[in-house]
């Protein structure tokens, strides 16, 4: 796919081609010559045809959140539209791809991949810890086993203003000393959900998309007030720190989300490559847990954590000029380039 980012520089690179599962996916697009304000919800087919859903559904001011708010009723119609060759389809190459949805709420699951958490446990241990790396890893592994059996997911909030498109440049703030990548499977909510049981939680998920939940490792923990703990506002919510998309793929097309491959390449070199089977708490448990406190709304995102292979593990953090290629099985691909603030 050769799709331009709406905010990319003139020499923006094209994303790596990767198919999505099923007969169609949903995206938010705009004409290349238009502003982001003119973006519209679209039906996209695997052969790269685009249908404007405002016209097809006879709703001139329709947004992606509007589509998701009527998900149960509109899904059969989307299937019908995808098979109708007589509609005014257009080539995808004529459009810019934005984040597929503007969420009202972003729920982020931390410490949810077993090997990733073990890596972080070892990386962040006290410098005076006299144990060997093997001993520290064994302790962390036992802790993860106890968490899966006895504990609850760890969920915090992100800002919608951090969301950006799947091919946008990512600006690294001048203050970010250790910017890192965190590729994640994101569930997109299709029904208002409050206090839903785990056994029913996936019924509230309209589909899935790709999220890269960037983190500045240097500001995760407050140095001035360590008793407060983590500072997710500072470390995760700079503008553009959550590249999202390109597509929302309906849940039925993805199937069971418990064995999808999550892969991130940095400048062509594989850094993350793990199955969602390594999750400590699966998608249903995370969605259910978030809904026990909050009311999840159509279009909201539930990010499910990042697998092993982040920059802290490799001893190599993000810097200007880096290119991240991200894929998750059946969801397509995103490509983002890092640029320095003010560049």
DSSP type of residue 272 = E
Averaged pLDDT in 10-residue chunks for the chain of 343 residues: 40 60 97 79 97 97 98 98 96 96 97 85 78 85 84 95 98 97 98 98 98 96 87 96 98 95 98 96 97 98 96 95 98 98 83
Rg (CA), the chain: 20
* Residues 127 and 242 grouped into a single domain: no
In sign, the C-alpha dihedral spanning 192, 194, 195, 198 is positive
Listing DSSP states for 154-210 in one string gives EEEEE-GGGEE-TTS-EEE-TT-SSEE--EEEEEEE-S-BSS--GGGGGGGEEEEEE
- Provide the whole-model pTM: 0.91
Q: What pLDDT score was predicted for residue 3?
A: 43
| Other C-beta atoms lying within 10 Å of the C-beta of residue 267 | 10
Q: Which domain holds residue 129?
A: 114-152
Q: What pLDDT score was predicted for residue 219?
A: 94
The helix (H) or strand (E) run that includes residue 77 is: helix 71-82
Identify which of 8, 192, 11, 190 has the alpha carbon closest to the alpha carbon of residue 100.
Answer: 190
* Residues 74 and 134 grouped into a single domain: no
Q: What pLDDT score was predicted for residue 19?
A: 86
Whether the CB-CB separation of 112 and 290 falls below 8 Å is answered with no
Q: Which of left, alpha, beta for 283 (phi over 0: left; psi -120 to 50: alpha)?
A: alpha
* Residues 201 and 302 grouped into a single domain: yes
- Residue carrying structure tokens 């049981």: 197
Last residue of a domain, one of 152, 179, 207: 152
Q: What pLDDT score was predicted for residue 113?
A: 93
Q: What pLDDT score was predicted for residue 149?
A: 82
The whole-angstrom separation of Cα 129 and Cα 151 is 26
* Residues 146 and 255 grouped into a single domain: no
**Considering its fold, how many domains does the chain have in total?**
2
User: How many Å separate Cα 202 from the centre of its chain?
Assistant: 17
* Residues 107 and 126 grouped into a single domain: no
* Residues 194 and 120 grouped into a single domain: no
* Residues 271 and 132 grouped into a single domain: no
Residue 303 lies in a domain: yes
The whole-angstrom separation of Cα 51 and Cα 139 is 53
* Residues 166 and 137 grouped into a single domain: no
Q: What pLDDT score was predicted for residue 8?
A: 43
CATH of the domain at 198: 3.90.850.10
Q: What pLDDT score was predicted for residue 116?
A: 81
């Amino acid at each position: 796919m050769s799709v331009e980012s709406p905010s990319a520089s003139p020499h923006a690179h094209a994303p790596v081609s990767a198919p999505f599962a099923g007969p169609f996916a949903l995206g938010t697009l705009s004409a290349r010559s238009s502003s982001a304000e003119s973006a519209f919800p679209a039906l996209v087919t695997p052969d790269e045809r685009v249908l404007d859903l405002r016209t097809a559904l006879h709703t001139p001011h329709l947004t992606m959140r509007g589509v998701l708010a009527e998900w149960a009723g509109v899904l059969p119609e989307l299937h019908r539209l995808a098979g109708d060759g007589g509609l005014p389809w257009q080539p995808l190459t004529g459009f810019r791809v934005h984040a597929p949805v503007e969420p009202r709420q972003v729920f982020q699951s931390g410490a949810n991949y077993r090997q990733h958490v073990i890596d972080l446990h070892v990386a962040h241990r006290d410098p005076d810890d006299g144990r060997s790396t093997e001993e520290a890893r064994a302790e962390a592994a036992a802790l993860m086993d106890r968490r899966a059996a006895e504990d609850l997911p760890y969920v915090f909030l992100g800002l919608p203003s951090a969301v950006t498109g799947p091919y946008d440049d990512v600006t690294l703030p001048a203050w970010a000393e250790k910017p890192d990548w965190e590729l994640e499977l994101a569930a997109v909510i299709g029904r208002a959900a409050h206090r839903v049981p785990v056994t029913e939680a996936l019924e509230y998920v309209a589909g899935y998309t790709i999220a890269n939940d960037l983190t500045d490792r240097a500001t995760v923990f407050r140095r001035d007030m360590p008793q407060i703990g983590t500072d997710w506002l500072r470390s995760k919510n700079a503008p553009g720190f959550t590249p999202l998309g390109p597509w929302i793929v309906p849940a039925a097309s993805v199937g069971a989300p418990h064995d999808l491959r999550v892969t991130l390449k940095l400048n062509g070199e594989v850094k993350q490559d793990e199955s969602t089977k390594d999750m400590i708490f699966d998608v249903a448990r995370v969605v259910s847990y978030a809904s026990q406190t909050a009311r999840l709304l159509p279009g909201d995102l539930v990010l499910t954590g990042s697998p092993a292979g982040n920059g802290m593990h490799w001893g190599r953090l993000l810097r200007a000029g880096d290119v991240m290629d991200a894929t998750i099985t059946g969801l397509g691909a995103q490509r983002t380039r890092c640029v320095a603030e003010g560049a």
